[in-house]
Structure 1
Amino acid sequence: MATRVHATHPQVYLAGPWFTAGEPERLAALENLMNELGISYYSPRLDGIDLTPDATDADRQAVFDDNTAHLKAAKLVLAVVDDNDTGTIWETGMAYGREIPIAYYAETLKDGQTFNVMLANSAVAVLQDLAQARAYLTDPTSGDFTYHGAIR
């Protein structure tokens, strides 16, 4: 495995939940992929401030400020949307409003299933597995990952 690339202004903001079974592993796979490809990224899971359910208002504000600052500086948001995490969806809405490209990662999106129209139309890419994520991150100018499947 390649060493993690650290940068003052990471290229990619990795949005996604890590609170239930399978979620941390999914993020770790994408983090490992970006390590391997030499892509600098900010992962709230790895780089962010830990927050507990009884966090103070100051702690909550610190997390919000840290995440939004890194999000604003990103060149791309890679968002894991398998579990429809509201924080992740909020981050992608902010990214879209700031004209930061968004690539959605949805392993659970299988052929014939529907994908949300708002996500599909805001995406530069919809990626369904690590092979697609590798191909897209290797060439993010590729139009091969535009979503043309069923919509809801």
Structure 2
Amino acid sequence: MSKKKTVYLAGPLFTHAELEYNRKLKDVLLNNGFSVFLPQEDAEDAAQEHEKQNQELIFIKCVEGLDASDLVVAVLDGSDVDSGTAWEAGYAYAKGKPVIGLRTDFRELSDGIVNLMVEMAIVALARNEKELLRIIEKYQ
């Protein structure tokens, strides 16, 4: 039996809706045979850590999570990609880890789906969870 691949789930985590969507997406990935690093849970990137101003610890845990992951799923919704998500995608790209974008948002830029630098760093772009699972299947 092969070891479960670890997905680093990058995405915005500043609203209740974003936090809930991240949890839903984590469950989808877990139910399909992946292990998942979710920063809002696994890096203690939650309100209590922000209140302690423990940003260095959160950053270190996120970088460790990225380093330990096999691939990254990056939620690219919004009028502009979340800056933290963009950084995580760029870091993963620099480390040679595949980054799969997920954009359920139907808004597009005039010259591309998302920011050019993010778009060029991803290996594939899914428009919904079902499409994401089809794409990510080849990484199991």
The TM-score normalised by the length of structure 2 is 0.81
| Runs (4+) off by over 6 Å | none
Cα 1:54–1:46 change in 2 (3 A) is closer
| Structure 2 gap segments, 5+ residues each | none
Contact 1:80 / 1:88 at 8 angstroms: preserved in 2?
yes
Structure with greater helix percent: 2
Shift of 1:117: 2.1
Give the aligned partner of residue 103 of structure 1.
Answer: 100
Tell me the distance in 2 between the aligned counterparts of 1:53 and 1:31. Answer: 22
Instruction: Tell which structure's C-alpha radius of gyration is larger.
Output: 1
Shift of 1:74: 1.2
The TM-score normalised by the length of structure 1 is 0.75
Higher relative contact order (CA 8 A, sep 6+): 2
Contact 2:90 / 2:118 at 8 angstroms: preserved in 1?
no
Matched, 1:91 2:88: yes
1:62 to 48, 57, 60: 57
| Structure 1 gap segments, 5+ residues each | 1-6, 142-152
Percent of aligned pairs with the same amino acid: 27
Cα 1:103–1:92 change in 2 (3 A) is same
Contact 1:71 / 1:95 at 8 angstroms: preserved in 2?
yes
Shift of 1:110: 5.8
Tell me the distance in 1 between the aligned counterparts of 2:73 and 2:94. Answer: 15
Give the aligned partner of residue 25 of structure 1.
Answer: 20
Residue-by-residue CA offset, 1:74-94 (whole Å, 9 max, x unaligned): 110111111321111111111
DSSP-derived class of the 1:121 partner = helix
Q: Which amino acid aligns with 1:61?
A: E
Residue-by-residue CA offset, 1:107-138 (whole Å, 9 max, x unaligned): 00368973122222111111110110111122
Superposition CA RMSD, Å: 2.5
